Chains A and B, each alone.
Chain A
Amino acid sequence: MPDAHPHQIHAEIPAPGAEILLRALKDQGVDVIFGYPGGSVLPIYDALFNQNAIRHILVRHEQAALHAAEGYARSTGRVGVALVTSGPGATNAVTGLTDALMDSIPVVCLTGQVPTHLIGNDAFQEADTTGITRPATKHNYLVKRPGDLARVVHEAFYVARSGRPGPVVIDLPKDILIGKTLYTPPPETPHRSYRPQTQPDAGQIARAVAILKSAKRPMVYTGGGVINAGPAAAEALTRFVRKSGFPCTSTLMGLGAFPASDPQFLGMLGMHGTYEANLAMHGCDVLLNVGARFDDRVTGRLNAFSPGSRKIHIDIDPSSINKNVPVDVPIVADAARALAALLAAWEADPTPVDRPAIAAWWRQIDGWKGIDCLRYIQPRDPGSIIKPQYAIQRLYEITRTVKQEIFITTEVGQHQMWAAQYFKFEEPNHLMTSGGLGTMGYGLPAAMGVQIAHPDALVIDIAGEASILMNIQEMGTLAQYRLPVKIFILNNEYMGMVRQWQELLHGGRYSETYSAALPDFVKLADSFHAVGMRAKSVDDLDRVIHEMLACDRAVIADIAVDPKENCFPMIPSGAAHNEMILGSEQVGSVAGVTDEGKVLV
């Protein structure tokens, strides 16, 4: 009887494609796959059944498999793997793939396909998966010959993790999974065409240092690229910022790369960023962008973005440079290597920085900080309604007393912005959120992936009551694998961010944004073998948070928060950084938003 254990298959003896596939995955260091079976991937599930090296986590919807793989990838720095069947399995995966593409998350997605001789025949559960996923992936493959299988798998992992990371699809016709072929190990030669530049150009580094040393009002703006470049990049960034004495801000995707508690950190920038971060962006004379892409959430109106600054942009993706904002010194490189080179050149250059000017700049920034743009008032009378900001702040403060490592995921909307504003991230890879695509329903499956990768950690999905319902079926996965994920719902009974825009821009006509007919989340938790709890007023909040953290099972904490609360500060659509509105007392100024601004999302 042939040996069915893939890790034991012999390179010289042909084996079925499904076993070759698992051998290749194992050689790529894969230990867990998030998947959902179906007709065309049966041979893979059969091969999985016969081995123990790779763990399969059965999700309840293919979109969740992709988000779980993203959560796994972003919290570990490794490539996440998803496995879905042909047709609807693949089409359900598209949202997760696009999410990973927008946020540069390395994921390999194996999709089943009808056998090669049926491709193009409108066979049962057939879809043109490579056609559909082409704009949703960094790259995709259709394996047409068994002999190509192992090579394609190795290449897919290389592409997913190299350069600017991203999702890669491998479409696997069923006959390829059954047909016998030989295994080929990972190649030792470089890829024939895809070889991203990772080492920075020394001349550009020197130019950057010269500009940075001459700065009177410098600003460091960091993004997800620092996190993707690994912990070394975050360390180098922290060293550079502290050595230079420059202020530092971060995009949503970059939070944690520089410690939020550091006095040089100005908080997140952009549409719901802090007043000081946005005004410093607007007023700086030298801007150092590390691994961020001048996204529209960050820049506001482009022709008024940081108008007086010379700009240095470090990015591993040349197409991110000069895309939205022209820069003076482009540096194509891995963020860790570029920051290391920048630090070395900074130290080697005897030119002093302009200390008096930078001190004056800090005085100005401290003035902006004095506005205290994130202030809110939490009434303390018994029975008072909970302010969502206060819920996040208490969650943050109480989790400081927990000894476990803490990972946060979020869904998308107001709660996501409040999490970014009030939860302070000290380390990279500890916030998983859907930044680019803005996928409601991301947080729960991502938290699953994080918890699988870090079984002993405390994983909290900060959610809204609308977002959580988009992938609520994953409660079943939490139960099956006993994943003690904590779901912290800021329940304001509205799709809050949309409601906020309707209030500010559409005359308060709350068209279809009320969360009608909500489930009883406590009973819902109960029916999914989890623990449900509820905080109705400010008197309950701390107790519920403590109970949630003390529980060793999955928890849904339904926190009833003020339904009228809006997310401030805010740069209205089409406005510039220095046209922020700070709170509801200023919303009248939104009336000035033009139709041109309204067109923007």
Chain B
Amino acid sequence: MPDSQLNSCRTATIAVLVDNEPGILARVVGLFSGRGYNIDSLTVAAVEDGGNRSRINIVTSGTEMVIEQIKAQLDRLVPVHRVADLSKNGPYLAREMALIKVVCPHEGAGGNNRAEALRLADAFRARVVDATTESFVFEMTGSTDKLDAFVELMRPLGLAEVSRTGVVAIARGTRVI
């Protein structure tokens, strides 16, 4: 590999299929912290084999050499079945869900942001899943960038709390990991 490719950083979305056993998440997280790798986002849930297999989606960043090393280190863990670098093997979908709480009192209580928050939510296709006279909770699904953008727009309108799932990802087309 040429040096330029080895030294430039990239973001990778890695899917890992594992046995759903106690300690597997600690094993994966410990690998990242012990070897000084970054975790930008991590999701995990049982996905197949009657709950005996879980899928971990990890978004990480590093040089090409580091990312290859992360994949090799993950792959040699005993309970790991498959490791796939979705961001390298062709087009893929990556989605995140967020619940976003905006506290914006109605006009009688001195607020004037409710209409603007709703307009923006509509533009971003965020759904209102909870509303009081003082607040909204928006539910939104999309790419990390889109969620980031919406959260930033809500900030001056009374953004109070954000809860995000982290990225889940899957390859486009017929390919499976």
Interfacial residues of chain A within 186-239, with CB under 8 A of chain B in the complex: 192-194, 196
Q: Does B139 contact A (CB under 8 A)?
A: no
A326-B1 contact given A193-B19, A319-B72, A319-B73, CB 8 Å threshold: yes
Asked if B76 and A317 sit within 8 Å, CB to CB, the answer is: yes
How distant is B111 from chain A, measured CB to nearest CB, in Å?
48
Q: Assess whether A323 is in contact with B22, with CB atoms less than 8 Å apart.
A: no
A159 interface contact, C-beta 8 A: yes
Partner of B78, one of A144, A159, A317, A318: A159
CB-based nearest B residue for A130: B23
Question: In residues 70-84 of chain B, which contact A (Cβ within 8 Å)?
Answer: 72-73, 75-81
Q: List the A side residues contacting B1 at CB < 8 Å.
A: 322, 326
Min CB distance B110 to A, Å, is 50
Taken together as a complex, chains A and B put the C-alpha atoms of A140 and B79 apart, in Å, by 11
Kindly report which residue of chain B lies nearest to residue A139, judged by CB atoms. B78
**Considering the chains assembled together, what is the distance between the CA atoms of A134 and B69 in angstroms?**
19
CB-nearest residue of chain A relative to B65? A322
Q: Nearest chain A CB to B63's CB is how many angstroms away? A: 11
Asked if B78 and A138 sit within 8 Å, CB to CB, the answer is yes
Asked if B34 CB lies within 8 Å of chain A CBs, one says yes
Q: Which residues of B contact A319 (CB under 8 A)?
A: 69, 72-73, 75-76
Please report the C-alpha to C-alpha distance between residue A131 and residue B72 in the assembled complex, in whole angstroms.
Answer: 22
Indicate if B26 sits at the interface (CB-CB under 8 A): yes
Task: Judge whether B75 and A318 touch: CB under 8 Å.
Answer: yes
Interface flag for A142 (CB, 8 Å):
yes
* Chain B nearest Cβ from A133, distance in angstroms: 11
Question: Interface size of B by Cβ–Cβ distance < 8 Å?
Answer: 21
With both chains docked as a complex, state the minimum distance between the C-beta of B32 and any C-beta of chain A, in angstroms: 11
CA of A131 to CA of B30, assembled, Å: 10
Given A319-B69, A323-B69, A326-B65, A134-B76 contact (CB < 8 Å): no
Establish whether residues B78 and A193, one from each chain, have CB atoms under 8 Å apart when the complex forms: yes
Q: Does B68 contact A (CB under 8 A)?
A: yes
B145 to chain A, nearest CB (A): 31
CA of A322 to CA of B30 in the docked complex: distance in angstroms? Answer: 21
Closest chain B residue to A138 by CB distance? Answer: B78
Q: Does A321 contact B (CB under 8 A)?
A: yes
Interface size on A, residues (CB 8 A): 23
Tell me if A163 is interfacial: C-beta within 8 Å of chain B: yes
Interface string of A248-271 (1 = CB under 8 A from B): 000000000000000000000000
Which chain A residues border B81 with CB–CB below 8 Å? 192-193
Q: State the CA gap A317–B75 with chains docked (Å).
A: 10
- Shortest CB-to-CB span from B52 to chain A, Å, is 10
Distance in angstroms from A119 CB to nearest chain B CB is 11
A135–B76 CA distance with the chains assembled, in angstroms: 13
Residues A322 and B69 in contact, CB atoms below 8 Å apart? yes
Assembly CA distance A401 to B11 (angstroms): 62
B 135-148 binary contact with A (CB < 8 Å = 1; else 0) = 00000000000000
Please, what's the 1-or-0 string for B1-31, where 1 marks a CB less than 8 Å from any CB in chain A? 1000010000000000001001100110010
Q: Are B26 and A131 in contact (CB under 8 A)?
A: yes
List, in ascending order, chain A residues with CB within 8 A of B72's CB.
Answer: 317-319, 321, 323
Give, as a whole number of angstroms, the nearest-CB distance from A80 to chain B.
19
Shortest beta-carbon distance, B37 to chain A, in Å?
12
Interface hits, B41-79 → A, CB 8 Å: 65, 68-69, 72-73, 75-79
Query: Chain B's nearest CB lies how many Å from the CB of A184?
Result: 18
Contact of A326 among B6, B22, B26, B27 (CB under 8 A): B6
Residue from A131, A138, A192, A196 in contact with B19 in the complex, judged by beta carbons closer than 8 Å = A192
- Give min CB distance, B48 to chain A, whole Å: 13
Residue ranges of A at the interface with B (Cβ–Cβ < 8 Å): 130-131, 134-135, 138-140, 142, 144, 159, 163-164, 192-194, 196, 317-319, 321-323, 326
Which residues from chain B sit less than 8 Å from chain A, CB to CB? 1, 6, 19, 22-23, 26-27, 30, 34, 65, 68-69, 72-73, 75-81
Beyond A142-B23, A319-B73, 11 additional contacts (C-beta under 8 Å) are A135-B30, A193-B19, A194-B78, A196-B76, A318-B72, A319-B72, A319-B76, A322-B65, A322-B69, A323-B69, A326-B6
